[in-house]
Structure 1
Amino acid sequence: MENFNANTQQNTSMQSMPQIPRMLPLKQVIHYTGLSSTTIYDMLDKKSNRYDPTFPIQVKLSKGRVAWVESEVSGWIEGKIAARFH
């Protein structure tokens, strides 16, 4: 009976924990989108003719290290899929 109570308490505390966003390194963004790193950075550059204001902006994690929020990349891809029918 004590194990059941301990498991119930653990499950309850895990459910109340905040969702931590998954961060994707450039290599995974390239994999998921099928875009090259040059294209991705061009899409983020307002001066580029490939600029896409809907593309997710990277998050600076540390000096020399950036990543993208997985849900934002996923949402961008889903938007592109939905837009093909319009």
Structure 2
Amino acid sequence: MEQLNANNQQSSSTLSMPQIPRMLPLKQVIHYTGLSSTTIYDMLDRRSKRYDPTFPIQVKLSKGRVAWVESEVAQWLESKIATARVH
């Protein structure tokens, strides 16, 4: 019974913890999207013909280190899939 109460307390404290966004390095964004690094950076460049304002913007984590929010990449992919299914 004590074990059950300890598990319940742990579960309730886990539920109240804030969700920490999962960050994806460029290699994983390339893997999940099937895009090259050049295409990804072109999609972020407003001067590029391939610019896509809907593509998730990277987050600068430190000097020389950027990553993308996993949920934003997933939403972008889902919107592309939904658009393809409509047409």
TM-score, length-normalised on structure 1?
0.96
The letter for the 1-side match of 2:83 is A
Equivalent pairs counted in the alignment come to 86
1:78, CA displacement in angstroms? 0.4
The separation in 2 between residues aligned to 1:23 and 1:62, in whole angstroms, is 13
For structure 1, list consecutive stretches of 5 or more residues without a partner in the other structure. none
Give the corresponding residue for 1:59.
59
The letter for the 2-side match of 1:9 is Q
Instruction: Classify the secondary structure of the residue corresponding to 1:20.
Output: coil
1:5, CA displacement in angstroms? 1.2
TM-score, length-normalised on structure 2?
0.95
Q: Which runs of 4+ in 1 moved over 2 A?
A: none
Superposition RMSD on alpha carbons, in Å?
0.7
For structure 2, list consecutive stretches of 5 or more residues without a partner in the other structure. none
The letter for the 2-side match of 1:12 is S
The separation in 1 between residues aligned to 2:39 and 2:7, in whole angstroms, is 48
